[in-house]
Amino acid sequence: MKLHPSLTLLLLALAASAAAAQTVYRHVDKNGKVTFSDQPPAANAQPAAPSAGAAAATGGPALPYELRRVAQRYPVTIYTGDECAPCGAGRSLLMTRGVPFEERTVKSNEDVEALQRLSGQTSLPVLSIGAQQLKGFSDAEWSQYLDAAGYPKSAQLPAGYRNPPAAPLVAVKAAPQAATQTPAAPAAAPQAASPAAAEGPTPSNPAGIKF
């Protein structure tokens, strides 16, 4: 069957448009806004600027993609105290494996009460991986749960990466500063009424006699 030339052109145009519709390009501008289009990005398009908040949260260089995904899904926090050998061993395990983590210290009575509400006990260390809590340090148990969460067995952190500094479990409230008041200027002493001028001789009273 021979198609009419105009019908053939129409079919070719439809085929071409269908082929073009199958390709969708993802555009990310310099502000991080994502849009989708059937046009490829321009050759001079600038890559998205890294998020300042993400850089601050990671303590410097950005994490590798896979590690960042795991850390976002299963964030790790270790609760430690002073003179706690198991706490040091747990911290060393995390650092050796290159696990990004936050550390919360338990020192004050408020910290102890908060830990008890959080974990149901006051012994340390406590490790949280996502919603999972591990009480007390066990190399085998901690490693098992880190493996299950998807954390790498060996460090993959970029050079220069630093975990956030340890912070108290309960934020320390700053003492309220007394309002600085400018001392009031002392009230001016009331001036004594000028005594009446001593009566002396006057033209009408040359002797200065008082009556």
Domains of the chain listed by start with CATH number: 53-168 (3.40.30.10)
d(CA 179, CA 65): 49
Identify the H or E element spanning 128.
strand 126-129
What is the DSSP code (8-state) at residue 80?
A: E
Question: How many other CB atoms sit within 10 Å of the CB of residue 164?
Answer: 13
How much is the pLDDT for 109? 95
How much is the pLDDT for 185? 59
How much is the pLDDT for 173? 72
**What residues form DSSP beta bridges with 37?**
25
How much is the pLDDT for 165? 96
Alpha-helical runs (H) found in 45-185: 52-58, 65-73, 85-97, 109-119, 139-149
Residue 152: what residue type? P
Kindly give the parts of the chain with pLDDT less than 70.
1-60, 174-211
Identify the H or E element spanning 16.
helix 5-21
How much is the pLDDT for 61? 85
